[in-house]
Amino acid sequence: MALGRDLPSEASPPSSIRPDYLSPSSVKSYLSCSLRFFFERVAQIRKPTTVALHVGKAIHATLQSFNLARWRGEDYSEDAMETAFSSHFLKLEKAEGPVDYADEETRQKVRSCAWNTVKAYMNSDEVASQMPLGVEVGLSATFSGLPVPVRGVIDLVQHDLTAVDYKSAAAKPDAGHAAFDHELQLVTYQMMIEEATGDTPPSLDLVYLVKTKTPQVIRVKIHPANEQRKRRIADLYRIAYEGITTEHFHPQPGMQCSWCQYMKECSGWCRQ
């Protein structure tokens, strides 16, 4: 059974949960609330796609098209990217829909805001400053004491090996909070790059595309992890693996419940 982002999952009976690998997103999901993880990734109960998720994916896919076109020396003009954005927006609606839009007018407004955000990125200093070394770079790493590999896909790797992850956000991020919140993902990327190249990336960066009226592009730079930070992250993977394979799933009420789509299932939960 695979529990990673963008990689196929195979349904397995809950009595034999043995992931082939772990990804930063699966581990973060498990640690955030193990019962929501169960509903989403083990029982695979489908829910309507939220507007924020649909927009985030459409923006992400368009940035991927943009960076790939630059990397390959293909057309990355605004016209070409508007076509790519429209195509991603529609395809994602079909593939992952229904999307929770209140009505067509709201959908058009959201779509326009998302495209303006992509344009802000394409016209920003971010683009002029560097060419990508790799786009959507799939890597893996082995952690001592973890029986399965860790796999992930890095949005962009710069020529100096800086790992870049794109985030779309409704409001300007707080740099310290962003670094703390995404530590698991970014340090995993560092460890993957180190295993693949033998070198430590000089920085682990988050590039926020902020969907405000005038969209903003904000880069948050995070220092690469020392040995203690890396050990802490490896421990989180081991804890998640043990919890998943011993079927340790229970409600973990907190702030995340306010955007959880499994409240109904959660309310009916009791220990088997």
Q: Which is nearer to ligand SF4, 42 or 81 (CB)?
A: 42
Task: Give CA–CA dist 214/115, Å, rounded.
Answer: 12
Toward ligand SF4, which CB reaches closer, 35 or 58? 35
Question: Closer CB to ligand SF4, residue 37 or residue 115?
Answer: 37
Name residue, tokens 């070409």: 80
> Of the two residues 17 and 43, which places its CB atom closer to ligand SF4 in the complex?
43
Closer CB to ligand SF4, residue 87 or residue 252? 252
As measured in angstroms, the least distance from the Cβ of 184 to ligand SF4 is 18
Helices (H), 136-215: 175-181, 183-197
CA atoms within 13 A on the CB side of 238: 11
> CB of residue 39 vs ligand SF4: minimum separation in angstroms?
6
Strand order in the sheet with 163-169: 132-141, 150-158, 163-169, 204-210, 216-222
Task: Tally Cβ neighbours within 10 Å of residue 82.
Answer: 14
Shortest Å, Cβ 88 to ligand SF4: 29
Nearest-angstrom CA–CA distance, 37 and 23: 13
Residue ranges that bind ligand SF4, judged by CB under 6 A: 33, 35-36, 251-253, 256-257, 260, 262-263, 266
131 or 263: whose CB is closer to ligand SF4? 263
Helices marked H in 97-134 = 104-122, 125-129
The rounded distance, in Å, linking the Cα atoms of 144 and 157 is 25
Rounded to a whole number of angstroms, the minimum distance from the CB of residue 21 to ligand SF4 is 24
For ligand SF4, the closer CB: 106 or 256: 256
Q: In the bound complex, what is the minimum distance in angstroms from residue 262's beta carbon to ligand SF4?
A: 5
Distance, CA of 155 to CA of 134 (rounded, Å): 8
The residue among 53, 42, 95 whose CA lies nearest residue 265 is: 42
Q: Give the chain's radius of gyration (CA, Å).
A: 19
Contacts of 99 (CB under 8 A, 6+ apart): 48, 49, 50, 51, 54, 93, 107
Q: Could you tell me the smallest distance in angstroms from the CB atom of residue 16 to ligand SF4?
A: 22
We find the least distance from the C-beta atom of residue 253 to ligand SF4, in angstroms, to be 5
Secondary structure class of 259 (helix, strand, coil): helix
